Chains A and B, each alone.
Chain A
Amino acid sequence: MSATALHDEHADHSHQTGFIRRWLMSTNHKDIGTLYMTWAIIAGIEGGVLSMIMRMQLAEPGNTLITSGQTWNAIVTAHGLIMIFFLVMPALIGGFGNWMVPMMIGAPDMAFPRLNNMSFWFLFMGFIFVNLGLLIGPGSGIGWTLYPPLSDSTFQPGPAVDFTLFSLHLAGISSLLGAINFIATILNMRAPGMTMHKMPLFVWSILVTAFLLLLAIPVLAGAITMLIMDRNFGTSFFEPGGGGDPVLFQHLFWFFGHPEVYIMILPAFGIVSTVVATFSKKPVFGYLGMVYAMIAIGFIGFVVWAHHMFVSGISHDSKIYFEAATLVVAVPTGIKVFSWIATMWGGSIELKTPMLWAIGFIFMFVVGGATGVVLANAGLDTDLHNTYFLIAHFHYVLSMGAVFGIFAGFYFWIGKMYGQQYPEFWGKVHFWTFFIGVNLTFFPQHFLGLAGMPRRYPDYPAAFAGWNYVSSVGSMVTSVSTLVFFYILFKIFTGKQVLADNYWGEGATTLEWTVASPAPHHTFEEVPVIR
């Protein structure tokens, strides 16, 4: 086969390839990004259905929708893992990261396209496994934190927990390969003239996220490998009867788990920065401050893990250190929030749907951040640890933080990705119903937590009935809102518009707006040069 023949063959693949070739063997960053997005939506539907089941069970005391505590625990576990590993991470990093990073830096594709393909299919298998963990036998009822001894074979016999642990291995390998790919791409494949300090903030956010993944995932992999050995090969890393230490697992888990929190929120920061600047028609205020705030958040994120263990096996002095370190995170986070507001200050703001999600993100994230500062106080954790106050806190930063970021990115880029604009009116209906729904769901949970309601309870004392009912009503509103989203998806996929290259106008300045909508299979005809 001559070089010419190779070249000719190369020239006509892309859109002409068959379904199997294009979607199962894809090496194109846009197609892989689409696969990630699609799978994130599917996983999101499952995670959402699980949360609806939970809220229905909790709507009033004594409900019998779920009759077994083990089933309940398995649902709680699957909900957490699916939302984190198979919705938020694939949507933000695999989806928007794959789609936008190469275009934004003027690169033809990711550095390692085949590795990119592997990343997605590892994730796909991980999703299958997490479902086996939910459905096989009595399910793995251990909570997403997987703490032994409950996750040991003595207390959770059968293969379900092993499936869950292997699912995390697969999702972890997927993330690790993806992180390596992003780091190589961003460091080596920027267009001429695009220095690090000219990179769009979304690219910076993915770069910092990739480094967090690179450093955190191996620790999780080590911890769950030890757990798998404890379960199946008679070791006792975490088994007190054999000299092991259950607290060691908590340290290892949260050494991964806390950076994981920032892994989920940093890409959303990047999207919000992009969207806020675009719809204010102003460059981001304090660009360098924003970049180094993200790097600082990433760095501090690695030295605060034991604030998840304030009432566990931890000494007095450790509490003081971890509290102080945790409070410090609020400083770079404050820089980001105030810089977003300063970006809007003096701008010419258009409240299009993506901007509503971005502003909603800022406000909800600040509420979640405020309760985060409360929870950082080791002494207050005595009353708040593992209560619904904590549940409210992390849903404010994730369910309203990360997810609002995902929706902001979706409405912002769907025209660029699919070539059809969303219906503006229904986008706003989606935003407002979702905003009301999630606030109604999660704000009352602060009160439940203060009154002392513990998490992971399928049933509760009658005194907690009132706010639980309100919360369940809120979740109904949220699910109706999600139906609006499906309608929007339907409108998008049946649309017949012709979209301009840059349909947002003067505010949209990054490289993806210089190419057609939808973006062509091979992005750039010639290498873009940045002044």
Chain B
Amino acid sequence: MTHRLRHARPEATELAELMKRSNRYLLLALGGCTALALAHPAVAATFPKNSAGFPIHAPTPWEWWFQPAASPIQKSIDWVMQFVLWIMFGVVLLVAGLLAYVMVKFHASKHPIPSTTTHNTLIEVVWTLVPALLLIIIFVPSLNLIYQQSDYKNPYMTVRVTGHQWYWEYDYLGAKGVDFTSYAVPPNELKPGEIKQLSADHPLVLPANQKIVFQITSGDVLHSFFIPSLGVQRYAIPGQYWHQWTEIDAPGIYYGECNQICGMNHDNMPIEIVALPMAQFQAWLTEAKADAAQGNVPPIHKFEVLAEAAAAKSAAIAQPGIRLASSTSK
């Protein structure tokens, strides 16, 4: 690395040398960053809990991987992502290594006479076939993932999700009349434990450990129903219904956002999901149906009361948070 920059002015040479050295450090730093990005944060995340004792599955500061997976689909996505990324990381590393090698080894200062080789059939065949093989290796698990995601038959329940400018509407197809809207909580009305641009006034209430199908559509423009930690995303398209399924692993609060440009409040129509243990969910649904039958708005906030009761009960038997038999029996 003693190469001298021929056209550099004298006072510039020192800085130029520094830049050349920084070249190496930069490559190291970039490699380090990439390695850091790829090392999987498999540590069991501990979530803060809300007043009712539910873990809040929200994005965390400086996060550099997926939000911890909370559904079978998201676990598969997480796995395939690591699989593909490690392969691609190897490819990037190989190319970076080769580039660094040729830049040093065949620098004009060390290698003044260039070779005249312009063809080598064997190596050209190799660098065509090896990448093709790698792609086939990637394609297999990826194909399984597509099949897994497409299997939305025989759900426990179906919720029709309708995107509107700028709120979501949740219609419980199996429970007549349970159909409500969900707006972002305005910043000045946020209660403790609620998160700006993620918390909704009337969250979507779902049972944990059951197969849920979202039947997604829109009342106006395109939206996208996106819940990263549950492995759910689908455009809401007016005039069409598209299905996505998930199964929430444990009771808790999960967040998503609208992910397709939909006008001026695109960033302000979050998705908040409260997953309840089955018993509490049934209780909530009964009340919601009764209220709907009377023409009232379903008791959107009653789940909080139920949840608090459940939390108190579990605290009484010295268990933190919500733990139910159904979550271990699977």
Contacts and interface: CB of A to CB of B under 8 A. Distances in A.
Interface of A: 61, 68-70, 72-73, 76, 141-143, 147, 149-150, 155, 240-241, 245-247, 280-287, 289, 311-313, 316, 319-320, 323-324, 327-328, 330-331, 334-335, 337-339, 341-342, 344-351, 359, 362-363, 366-367, 370-371, 373-374, 377-383, 385-387, 423-425, 428-429, 432, 435-436, 439, 443, 446-447, 450-467
Contact of A150 (B127, B142, B229, B263): B263
Given A285-B118, A346-B114, A425-B16, A313 B196 contact: no
B65 A450 contact: yes
Nearest to A311: B233
Contacts of B195: 461-462
Given A344-B102, A379-B149, A432 B263 contact: no
Interface stretch (B131-139, B284-292, B293-301, B317-325): B131-139
9 contacts: A282-B118, A283-B118, A316-B150, A349-B107, A350-B108, A359-B103, A378-B146, A383-B231, A463-B60
Given A285-B118, A350-B108, 9 more contacts: A286-B118, A312-B237, A334-B128, A347-B102, A379-B148, A383-B231, A450-B63, A451-B63, A462-B195
A70 B84 contact: no
Interface string B244-267: 000000000000111111111111
Interface centre among B111, B198, B221 (most CB of A within 10 A): B221
Given A341-B102, A457-B266, A324 B139 contact: yes
Contacts of B89: 370
Contact of A379 (B76, B85, B262): B76
Contact of A425 (B12, B61, B143): B12
A445 B193 CA distance: 27
Interface stretch (B93-101, B167-175, B202-210, B303-311): B93-101
Contact of B139 (A286, A287, A323, A381): A323
A285 B231 contact: no
Contact of A311 (B3, B8, B139, B235): B235
A246 B163 CA distance: 15
B112 interface: yes
A73 B197 CA distance: 18
Contacts of B135: 327-328, 330-331, 373
Nearest to A69: B264
A452 to B, nearest CB: 4
Contacts of A150: 221-222, 261-263
Contact of A246 (B88, B143, B222): B222
A157 to B, nearest CB: 12
B106 A347 contact: yes
Contacts of B112: 348
Given A69-B264, A331-B135, A346-B117, A387 B259 contact: yes
Nearest to A70: B264
Question: 5 shortest A-B CB distances, which residue pairs?
Answer: A240-B239, A379-B145, A69-B264, A346-B115, A452-B228
A345 B77 contact: no
B238 A335 contact: no
B80 A379 contact: yes
Interface of B: 3, 5-9, 12, 15-16, 19, 22-23, 26, 30, 33, 37, 58-67, 73-74, 76-77, 80-81, 84-85, 88-89, 91-92, 95-96, 98-99, 102-103, 106-108, 111-120, 123-124, 127-128, 131-132, 135, 138-139, 142-143, 145-150, 165, 195-198, 220-222, 224, 226, 228-229, 231-235, 237-240, 242, 256-268
A149 B180 CA distance: 24
Nearest to B136: A327
Contacts of B117: 282, 285, 346
A323 B59 CA distance: 29
A331 B220 contact: no
B142 A143 contact: no
A362 B95 contact: yes
B77 A382 contact: yes
A461 B197 contact: yes
Nearest to B166: A69
Given A382-B77, A383-B74, A385-B233, A454 B258 contact: yes
Contacts of B65: 447, 450-451
A447 B63 CA distance: 7
A413 B61 CA distance: 46
Nearest to A373: B88
Contacts of B108: 281, 348-350
A439 B30 contact: yes
A73 B263 contact: yes
Given A362-B99, A386-B224, A387-B259, A282 B114 contact: yes
Contact of B263 (A69, A311, A379, A446): A69
Contact of A331 (B64, B111, B128): B128
Contact of A459 (B63, B143, B267): B267
B114 to A, nearest CB: 4
A260 B124 CA distance: 28
A296 to B, nearest CB: 10
A363 B138 contact: no
A512 to B, nearest CB: 21
Given A331-B131, A377-B80, A463 B266 contact: no
B243 to A, nearest CB: 10
Contacts of B3: 351
A319 B146 contact: yes
A466 B263 contact: no
B234 A457 contact: no
Nearest to A462: B196
A380 B96 CA distance: 25
A342 B7 CA distance: 28
A380 B3 CA distance: 45
Contact of A337 (B64, B95, B102, B239): B95
Contacts of A370: 88-89, 91-92
A425 B9 contact: yes
Contacts of B61: 462-463, 465-466
B242 A461 contact: no
A316 B235 contact: no
Contacts of A155: 165, 220-221, 263
Interface centre among A70, A327, A339, A382 (most CB of B within 10 A): A382
Nearest to B150: A316
B196 A461 contact: yes
A366 B267 CA distance: 32
Given A323-B142, A348-B113, A443-B33, A240 B131 contact: no
A458 B132 CA distance: 41
Contacts of A68: 264
A316 B257 contact: no
Contacts of B146: 316, 319-320, 323, 378-379
Nearest to B226: A454
A443 B146 CA distance: 28
A463 B59 contact: yes
Contacts of A149: 220-222, 238
Contacts of B128: 331, 334-335
Contact of A334 (B5, B77, B131): B131
A350 B108 CA distance: 6
Nearest to B144: A379
A450 B259 contact: no
Contacts of A450: 63-66
B264 A141 contact: yes
A341 B98 contact: yes
A76 B261 CA distance: 11
A234 to B, nearest CB: 18
A142 B23 CA distance: 41
B111 A377 contact: no
A522 to B, nearest CB: 31
